[in-house]
Amino acid sequence: MYENIIVGLDLIATIAFGVALLFAVRIPRSIMDQPSKTFLALCLGIYVFVGLSNILEHGQITDCLDHYEDYVEIFFPLFFLFFIYSVITKQELNSRKLAEKAARHALKDWEDIFQASGNPTLILDAEHDVISANRATVGATGKSKEALVGMKCYEIMHGTDQPPEGCPMEKMLISGHCETVEMEVEALGSVFLVSCTPMLDDEGNLQKVIHIATDITESKQVEEEKKTLEDQLRQAQKMEAVGRLAGGIAHDFNNILTAIIGYSNMLQMKMAEDDPLLTDVEQILSSSQKAARLTQSLLAFSRQQIIHPKPVRLNEIVVSVEKLLLRLIGEHIELKTNLTDKNFTIMADSGQIEQVMMNLATNARDAMSEGGMLTISTELVELDKQFIKTHAYDVKPGMYSLICFTDTGEGMDEDTRKRIFEPFFTTKELGRGTGLGLAIIYGIVKQHNGFVDVYSKPGEGTTFKIYLPIIKSAIAETKAEIIPPPRGGTETVLVAEDDEVVRTITKAILDRFGYKVIEAVDGEDAVIRFKENKDKIDLVILDVIMPKKNGKMAYDDIKKLWPEIKAIFTSGYTKDFVDKKGILEEGINFIPKPISANELLRKMREVLDK
């Protein structure tokens, strides 16, 4: 029984080792190489032999092998050891091959990335010597890769034999970490953001340096353009704010002047021709006229003055004022005109444009106290969207006439240039300039839908460029206007004015010229007074801006009571300004303040006689 069990176990072992041997032979070479397979087969073969011997011996079939199997068995551990060693060696070889392949791939990937980088990139040693350079560097420098290798980085980038000031590599060698510096690279003609990154070994020693130069020229330009645009916008906003302030002051001041001029006129009319006080009154009137001109200048700057644009030829305006300008600038300054032969027309108030030229000539004269040359030239230019966008002008693209005033005077610095159009800003000594000349130019040109540009540097003179839009319409013939003398009347007039002084002087003038006057202190009062006297009133004079109800609202209410009523509006603001605010309709009768007695009387007769 015992022997049978042993024989059975030996049989199982023999069959199992035999099957294992068959499987071992069939193991593919890709998994196990031939020497390993041979050693495994020998191991398994030994135990097929040992098992077979045991069956023969324990089954008492034959003892011919005479325990040879015991000696054969000795080789099993050796062969198995060889088998394992062979497998491990092969495995090691495979993993080394795989690692080498991965390293080759990684190296290729790194090289591809290095070469594909759009930024000029160098690999340097600690002595600034180039070890490798990418395609972008080759393209940017125009040198071959071979020529670049071995050169110093500063030789390539700056063409110097020493590292430049602020060299990021030098900084990195001191700090030991990545350093980035913005620098102008003359050799490449651009501004670069240069970064130097150290590559250290396991012990922290510097092995190589990655030197990357990123071209930021374009972004710098965009940044500068943005800054310029912001400056221009800020300047335009400032001018707008100052203009509003100046306009507001002029408006209130005009009300005061209306009273002064009105009462002075009244006094003048009442006085005898030989009255000794007449000269004093004339002085008051003369000073008031000067003050009125000042408010007019402020209104010109704030673009609230009345202009009378007509189609005119720019060259003709220049020619017409040339002689006047010659006298204005004096003999020590040479005047040169260089007018375009293109015959173009602009929509402008000739008087205002002449005023611009006079102011510019005065300015040029003051800038050339030692003498020099003033050149006036005209041109026809096309402004595209890009130009307007770059210069941040609030104008439409198209054809523009250009007047250039170039002097060879002292010029000005940037800070002055930025402020010259501000009202009351002057660099002239006290009493020589009002500081309104250029502000008026700014206002007039803006009112003509144009713009002014100034180019100047200290010691290099100044050029003013005035751009005005051209038109295609023909030039209308102008006829001299005949102004009729003022006449009085007997009609009844309702005067609605919130400013008591203005209201009183208006009443006094009208009383004197035979009119019957009903006064109202605001818009609401005007409507009440009209209701009370609607059968008598022939004309209403309304201030546009009044408390409770403005002039327009009061007029609308009055019109409901009597649709045929005639009206005249007055305001310290100009009609254009009031129109823009949408207060008054087209075709209304309007008198800007300060109102002179003659103007008021003439307008009243004109409206009443219609």
Partner 1 sequence: MFQENEVLNLILALISILMFAFIFKKMGPPRLRLLYIGFIFILCGYLFTVIEGVIWLEFFNLLEHLCYAISGILFAAGCLSIIRHSTSEQAKNNV
Site stretch for partner 1 (CB under 8 A), options 6-14, 254-262, 371-379, 520-528? 6-14
C-beta closer to partner 1: residue 53 or 401: 53
Which CB atom, from 90 or from 391, has the smaller least distance to partner 1? 90
Nearer to partner 1, 92 or 606 (CB): 92
CB nearer to partner 1: pick between 83 and 569 = 83
Contacting residue, 39, 42, 50, 122, with partner 1 by CB under 8 A:
50
CA distance 345 to 354: 15
- Give pairs for 232-241: CB < 8 Å, separation 24+: 232/391, 232/392, 233/392, 235/418, 236/392, 236/394, 238/422, 239/421, 239/422, 239/442
Q: Which of 53, 54, 137, 265 binds partner 1 (CB under 8 A)?
A: 54
Contact by Cβ (8 Å): 390, 359: no
Site for partner 1 in 347-386 (CB under 8 A): none
Owner of token pair 């008087």 = 351
Is residue 42 a contact residue for partner 1 (CB under 8 A)?
no
Q: Which helix (H) or strand (E) holds 318?
A: helix 314-329
The smaller minimum CB distance to partner 1, of residues 93 and 113, is found at 93
Residue 594: what residue type?
Answer: P
**From 38, 49, 80, 392, residue interacting with partner 1 (rule: CB under 8 A):** 80
Please return the burial class of 126, using the count of CB atoms within 10 Å of its CB with bins 0-12, 13-18 and 19+: middle
Helical (H) or strand (E) element with 351: helix 350-367
Strands 398-407 and 462-471 come out as antiparallel
What b/e sequence results for 455-473 when a residue is b if at least 16 CB atoms lie within 10 Å of its CB, and e otherwise? ebeeeebbbbbbbbbbbee
**In the complex with partner 1, which residue's Cβ is closer, 5 or 561?**
5
Minimum distance between the CB of residue 56 and partner 1, rounded to whole angstroms?
14
Q: Which residues of 35-71 are buried (b: 16+ CB within 10 A; e: fewer)?
A: ebbbbbbbbbbbbbbbbbbbbbbbeeeeeebeeebee
Residues ≥6 apart with Cβ < 8 Å to 5: none
In the structure, how many helices (H) and strands (E) does the chain have?
20, 17
Q: State the distance between the two ends of the chain, measured CA to CA, in whole angstroms.
A: 152
Given candidates 19, 61, 102, 277, which one binds partner 1 under the rule CB under 8 A?
19
Count of residues that bind partner 1 according to CB under 8 A:
43
Given 4, 61, 66, 70, the residue binding partner 1 (CB under 8 A): 70
Q: Does 40 bind partner 1 (CB under 8 A)?
A: yes
Long-range contacts of 177-182 (CB under 8 A, 24+ apart): 182/216
Candidates 8-16, 112-120, 167-175, 529-537; binding stretch for partner 1 (CB under 8 A): 8-16
* Rounded least distance, CB 78 to partner 1, Å: 7
Specify whether the CB–CB gap between 469 and 396 falls below 8 A.
Answer: yes
Q: Which one, 87 or 600, has the nearer CB to partner 1?
A: 87
Nearer to partner 1, 84 or 138 (CB): 84
Which residue, among 380, 418, 415, has the nearest Cα to 400 in the 3D structure?
380
**For partner 1, which residue of 30, 279, 386, 490 counts as binding (CB under 8 A)?**
30
CB of 13 to partner 1, least distance (A): 4
- Cα separation of 283 and 333, whole Å? 36
76 vs 513 by CB, closer to partner 1? 76
Which residue's CB is nearer to partner 1, number 75 or number 425?
75
CB of 216 to partner 1, least distance (A): 49
Closest CB to partner 1 among residues 55, 578: 55
Among 63, 85, 252, 319, binds partner 1 (CB under 8 A): 85
Among 4, 62, 91, 221, the residue binding partner 1 under the rule CB under 8 A is 91
Residue 104 CB, nearest approach to partner 1 (Å): 20
Q: Does 31 bind partner 1 (CB under 8 A)?
A: yes
- Give, in order, the Cα–Cα distances in Å from 330 to each of 185, 333, 365, 437: 51, 6, 8, 18
- The site for partner 1 (CB under 8 A) is made up of 2, 5-6, 9-10, 12-17, 19-20, 23-24, 26-28, 30-32, 40, 44, 47, 50-51, 54, 70-71, 73-74, 76-78, 80-81, 84-85, 87-89, 91-92
